[in-house]
A and B are shown apart, each in its own frame.
Chain A
């Protein structure tokens, strides 16, 4: 649905629905922290950003964009379908040697306490790097989006 609607607002709303479904799946996998972050960051922050930009650009409906069925589009859809078949074949029909495991072990690793402990001990350096990355992205976004000074 995200990729078939003509109106970008509708497809953004379907994307939000998809994010909530993914958050539910994370909960079934005992990853509470990731589920909460998914709802807060994706469905909250990022989608507000998307809808804000759609509003700012005033792209109510997409009539003047003239999405037409072209030759390249058919090739693209065929390629995507072929890739999907390959992936299904790999996942479903080939016996990949995988270390044994079950979902019962994951009960306590997804809690906020465990994730936080790992984040501030083992992964402290990547965490700090991430903050620098976010700062750079913020400055970059402001510089790109501001009007010219002249």
Chain B
């Protein structure tokens, strides 16, 4: 296993997340795609950290994970509030910010 393998896998997972964000209209699935992208970046950080023998990458992964947890909690609360107001999670119908 070379580092290129890990980087390729990370790129593929990241692009899957991007496509998910761009194409799906369900807010929860868009959210899961964002988690997917965060995870792929974590994978490349850990790969570089192991490759260079440097612990800083793994520290950064730890902090990314805490930020992802906070983001998931707040984002899901936002989705719940939205659903309570509009009775939908379809992002096309959530257009109250549109002028």
**Nearest B residue (CB) for A148:** B84
Count of A-B contacts with CB under 8 A?
Answer: 201
Q: Is B74 an interface residue (CB 8 A)?
A: yes
When distances are taken between beta carbons in the complex, the residues of chain B under 8 Å from A46 are 35, 68-69, 72
User: Using a CB-CB cutoff of 8 Å, which residues 75-95 of chain A contact chain B?
Assistant: 76-77, 79-81, 83-84, 87-88, 91-92
The size bracket of the interface on B is: 35 or more
User: Using a CB-CB cutoff of 8 Å, which residues 34-51 of chain B contact chain A?
Assistant: 35-36, 39, 42-43, 46-47, 49-51
Question: Contact at B49–A31, with CB atoms within 8 Å?
Answer: yes
User: Using a CB-CB cutoff of 8 Å, which residues 1-56 of chain A contact chain B?
Assistant: 2-3, 8, 11-12, 15, 18-19, 22, 25-26, 28-31, 33-34, 37-38, 41-42, 45-46, 49-50, 53-54, 56
CB distance from B44 to the nearest CB of A (A): 10
